[in-house]
Amino acid sequence: MTSPTPLHFHVPEPASRPGGKPDFSGVSIPKAGSVRRPPVDVLPEEIRDLAYSIIRVLNHEGRAIGPWVPDLSQDELVAGLRHMMTLRTFDARMQMAQRQGKTSFYMQHTGEEAVSCAFRIALGPDDMNFPTYRQAGLLIAHDYPLVDMMCQIYSNEHDPLKGRQLPVMYSSKKHGFFSISGNLATQFVQAVGWAMASAIKRNHRIAAAWIGDGSTAESDFHAALVFASTYKAPVVLNVVNNQWAISTFQGIARGGSGTFAARGLGFGIPALRVDGNDYLATYAVAKWAIERARLNLGPTLIEYVTYRAGAHSTSDDPSAYRPKHESEEWPLGDPVIRLKQHLIAAGAWSEERHKQTEAEILATVIAAQKEAEAFGTLHSGGKPSARDIFEDVYAELPPHLRRQRQQIGV
Amino acid sequence: MPSYRRICVGSASRSEFDAMPRMTMIEAIRSALDVSMARNDDVVVYGEDVGFFGGVFRCTQGLQQKYGVSRCFDAPISECGIVGTAIGMAAYGLRPCVELQFADYMYPAYDQIVSEAARLRYRSAGDFTCPLVIRMPTGGGIFGGQTHSQSPEALFTHVAGLKTVVPSNPYDAKGLLIAAIEDPDPVIFLEPKRLYNGPFDGHHDRPVTAWAKHELSEVPEGHYTTPLGKAVTRRAGEAVTILAYGTMVHVALAAVEETGVDAEVIDLRTLLPLDLETIAASVAKTGRCIVLHEATLTSGFGAELTALVQEHCFYHLEAPVMRVTGWDTPYPHAQEWDYFPGPSRLGQALRDIVETR
Ligand SMILES: Cc1ncc(C[n+]2csc(CCOP(=O)(O)OP(=O)(O)O)c2C)c(N)n1
Ligand SMILES: [Mg+2]
């Protein structure tokens, strides 16, 4: 049979572009509390529907409802709010520092703070994250010193990474934070290997893999799913769907799959989709997946539905590719405001305390910044040595690098 | 100002040259794509952020709007997928010209490039071919750290079946890119990103200069080609030959001017095929040779050049061939200018080599 019309080439388009009206009518959002909570040993085929839904806890009034309400005390929630506020303030200061020429580059988390901050709290102290550049909440919520983060951003003499890495590409084994590569998706599969190692060694530690919506298109993502599935690796596979990959909307990476969570289904990996701007839901879902991994039940894929409210990085201007006010129309709101409202509704917080806390956090971040800047910024003050170029290429400096180091006289 | 000897080749008419617009390297690349897409419906352009937005360096800006989404579109973040599909399209008969966002991100595509694109003609005895161009920004100088600074040209020149091109200015960028798109074989097109918006001679502490002040920013609007495999002598000299490409051409000219050494500066433009004739003639005349590149030293393209020079000019050489290159380390962030082989490092080599007897 011959087809009546010739083939045509399909290229997905976002719902709207600059000059158009923001349109999220395609994002269907279930009511808070409406999605069931299966036991952690559920069979993947019994929860296929959860890959297409969104688990939500906080409703419009800021009340926590339904089966996924986590057992977090009010003090823990206040701490979570402070983590998110700290990350946001940190971002604002470092963004400004980049604009002031104190460093070359910065990447913000605006709108996505809940994802990494809540996940860190759900994770154990000996577990390992394989993060991307947009999960600094994993450090902040784990009390990594702000000064050290800033020194890395400034590439100064106190930079733990000796000036070698691009700003925000932190690394801290002690804080369960694997060195960030900069090459997308490469670490997603490494997390699976780390988890396999923990199983081989019959340990209790688990791994968390992190990736953005756009980067799930890389082969490494799919390799990670195969290995995680085959070896039932104790790993949580986190996909942060913030709707954008620089200028490319999530439909380009997602294709016909419906959701990113659904990517797990063909691999027999249970997949959950969660409101990534809901601190409580994010924590609860993370906890569920972490428990599964710890009980030797294997991997879980989690898609965090969120929105990148800021630019991709300091090198980017989103007004060139998405409607200017798109972020204001994002139907899942702002994670900081939502947790704040929840705490106020629960009688554990007030506008006044919030303002005070904001001021207090700003003072803390500014103090850390002063301290960091005393060690230098990218173009002035203390610097890592040119010697540091040659160290750590190998465990021992080989003769050819010794010669090269001599050539620059350090 | 250093002097440039310009070779104009191709089909641009005299009148076109009379009223030539000034272009940056980005505009010249865009113009090459535009001209190629207008002339041939089979030319398709895609890559990450390449469609609606026009690429993170804006090299494809406006092409989707002009030629439609079937000819210029956004790709998923999969370099393997971008190159793999481009090979399939090329085998079909299209002329894909794809962009990898940074050369540092080409590794997921490397299997497709090395095992597939490079060998398709050979293994099928010409039954299937792969007329494909893979563009990617290379080189440092923008504080990009180890994932936005690499110069992996030797990883391509080492592979049989690939051609590798590195322009140093807008005029060549356009002519070479059109030639690459029209070439019957896969071409790796490396774009020194530090040259996108202006010439750069390695003096990072001086004000940036615009292409508009440079004579090689005069670029014809229409179609012309700069043939692959032809080097050009940017400065004639008697004392020593400097072999360079991309950003390093500008570094070489600056160092020559600053040291006063009467060096001949050759801009290779294509690394493979290589214009050995121009190289050998120059070294036979000067008797000395410095090879300059930003990539790491060991097994770099400079090693190939050095071997060729000793093979073809051994009895003319009055000093060992010297290499001035990046160090054998990853590209650091803060210590960028200690890493970058700038005019002072080259200047020292120039003084040393002319004193060697
Ligand atoms: C292998 C590779 N290809 C391309 C890039 C360039 N790049 C950096 S971030 C980015 C977009 C990533 O989007 P997403 O995965 O959605 O993460 P997000 O930035 O939204 O957090 C791209 C294409 C890269 N860093 N590595
Ligand atoms: Mg994204």
Q: Are B44 and B89 in contact (CB under 8 A)?
A: yes
Q: List CB contacts (< 8 A) between A167 and chain B.
A: 333
Which of B146, B204, B329 has the highest number of chain A CBs within 10 A, making it the mutation to test binding with A? B329
Residue B12 has pLDDT above 90, yes or no: no
Contact A114, A335 (CB under 8 A): yes
Ligand nearest to the CA of A131: 1
The answer to whether residue B357 scores a pLDDT higher than 50 is yes
Query: C-alpha distances in angstroms, A202 versus A231, A294, A376, B246?
Result: 14, 11, 45, 53
Distance CA B245, CA A103 (A): 30
Q: Which residues have CB under 6 Å of ligand 1?
A: A 134, 182-184, 212-215, 242, 244-246, 308, 312; B 48, 77, 101, 105, 108
pLDDT at A384: 96
Asked if residues A247 and A24 have their Cβ atoms less than 8 Å apart, the reply is no
Q: Using the beta-carbon criterion (under 8 Å), do A255 and B76 form an inter-chain contact?
A: yes
Residues B109 and A382: their CA atoms lie apart, in Å, by 39
Q: What is the pairing mode between strands A235-241 and A300-305?
A: parallel
CB atoms under 10 Å from CB of A310, counted, come to 20
Rounded to the nearest 5 degrees, what angle is found at the Cα of A370, between the Cα atoms of A366 and A374?
165
Subunit contact A155:B334, Cβ cutoff 8 A: yes
Residue B214 is a catalytic residue: no
Amino acid at the residue B251 = V
Q: What is the atom index within ligand 1 of the atom nearest the CA of A241?
A: 16
Assess contact for B64 and B51: CB atoms under 8 A.
Answer: yes
d(CA A171, CA A149): 9
Give the number of beta-carbon pairs within 8 Å between A and B: 130
The terminus-to-terminus CA distance of chain A in angstroms comes to 75
Task: Report CA(B142)–ligand 2 centroid distance (Å).
Answer: 24
pLDDT score of A3: 72
Which residues from B are below 8 Å from A166, CB to CB?
144-148, 333
Report which ligand 1 atom has the smallest distance to the Cα of A183: 26
pLDDT bucket at A264, cuts 50 / 70 / 90: very high
Residue B18: which pLDDT band, with cuts at 50, 70 and 90? low
Arithmetic mean of pLDDT, B54-65: 98
The average pLDDT across B72-77 equals 98
Q: Report pLDDT digits (tens) over B273-310.
A: 999 999 999 999 999 999 999 999 999 999 999 999 99
Residue B67 has pLDDT above 60, yes or no: yes
Taking the centre of ligand 1 as the mean of its atom positions, its distance from the CA of residue A214, in whole angstroms, is 7
Candidates B255, B262, B272; CA nearest to B241 is: B262
The values of phi and psi at residue B194, to 5°, are -70, -15
- Reply yes or no on whether the pLDDT at B62 is more than 80: yes
CA angle A222, A225, A228 (to 5 degrees): 150
Q: How far apart are CA A287 and CA A119, in angstroms?
A: 8
Above pLDDT 90, what percent of chain A?
Answer: 98
- How far apart CA B24 and CA B197 sit, in angstroms, is 6
Residue B193 has pLDDT above 80, yes or no: yes
Sheet strand arrangement including B232-235? B232-235, B263-267, B240-244, B289-296, B322-326
Average confidence score pLDDT of chain A: 97
Give the per-residue SS3 of A31-73.
CCCCCCCCCCCCCHHHHHHHHHCCECCECCCCCECCCCCCCCC
What totals of helices (H) and strands (E) does chain B contain, helices first?
Answer: 13, 12
Q: Rounded to the nearest whole angstrom, what is the distance from the C-alpha of residue A185 to the centroid of ligand 1? A: 9
Q: A201-259, pLDDT tens digit by residue?
A: 999 999 999 999 999 999 999 999 999 999 999 999 999 999 999 999 999 999 999 99
The residue-averaged pLDDT of A126-131 equals 98
- Helix A113-122 and helix A335-345, axial crossing angle in degrees, nearest 10: 60
Place of tokens 């990009």: B144
Residue B3 predicted with pLDDT over 70: no
Phi, psi of A237 (to 5 degrees): -100, 105
A74-99 pLDDT tens trace: 999 999 999 999 999 999 999 999 99
- The number of the ligand 1 atom at minimal distance from the alpha carbon of A132 is 21
Catalytic residue among B148, B214, B223, B293: B148
Q: Is the pLDDT of residue A291 over 60?
A: yes
Q: What is the pTM of this model?
A: 0.96
pLDDT of residue B2: 36
Residue B1 has pLDDT above 70, yes or no: no
Task: Please provide the DSSP assignment of B67-132 as one string.
Answer: H-TTTEEE--S-HHHHHHHHHHHHHHT-EEEEE-S-GGG-GGGHHIIIIIGGGHHHHTTTSS----
- DSSP-assigned letter for residue B272: E
Average pLDDT of the residues in B52-65: 98
Distance in angstroms (rounded) separating the CA atoms of residues A213 and A262: 12
> Are B143 and A320 an interchain contact pair (Cβ–Cβ within 8 Å)?
no
Strands B163-165 and B133-138: unpaired
Bond before B227 cis per omega within 30 degrees: no
Partners of B76 on chain A (C-beta within 8 Å) are 214, 217, 248, 252-253, 255
Q: If DSSP codes are grouped into helix, strand and coil, which group holds residue B164?
A: strand
Q: What is the ipTM of this complex?
A: 0.97
Contact A215, A305 (CB under 8 A): no
pLDDT of residue B17: 52
| Rounded-to-integer distance, Cα B46 and Cα B72, Å | 5
DSSP element (H, E) containing A274: strand A271-275
Closest C-alpha to ligand 1, atom 3: B105
CA distance A240 to A250: 11
Residue-wise pLDDT tens digits, A305-323: 999 999 999 999 999 999 9
**Tokens 């897409």 belong to which residue?**
B37
Report helix, strand or coil for A112: coil
- pLDDT tens digit string along B296-352? 999 999 999 999 999 999 999 999 999 999 999 999 999 999 999 999 999 999 999
Run of H or E residues at A119:
helix A113-122
Q: Determine phi and psi for A118, rounding to 5 degrees.
A: -70, -40
Rg of chain B's alpha carbons, rounded to an integer?
Answer: 20
Give the whole-angstrom CA distance, residue B259 versus residue B120: 48
B298 chain-A contacts, CB cut-off 8 A:
400
Comparing CA positions, the residue from B313, B311, B323 lying closest to residue B353 is B323
A292 sits in which H/E element: helix A279-294
**For B112-150, what is each residue's pLDDT tens digit?**
999 999 999 999 999 999 999 999 999 999 999 999 999
Q: Which amino acid is at A125?
A: P
B76 contacts A252? CB cut-off 8 A: yes
The span from the CA of A386 to the CA of B2, in Å, is: 31
Q: What is the DSSP letter of A261?
A: G
Distance from CA of A392 to the nearest CA of B (A): 9
Output the pLDDT for position A77.
Answer: 98
Query: Is the predicted pLDDT of residue B160 greater than 80, yes or no?
Result: yes
Tokens found for residue B211:
């292409």
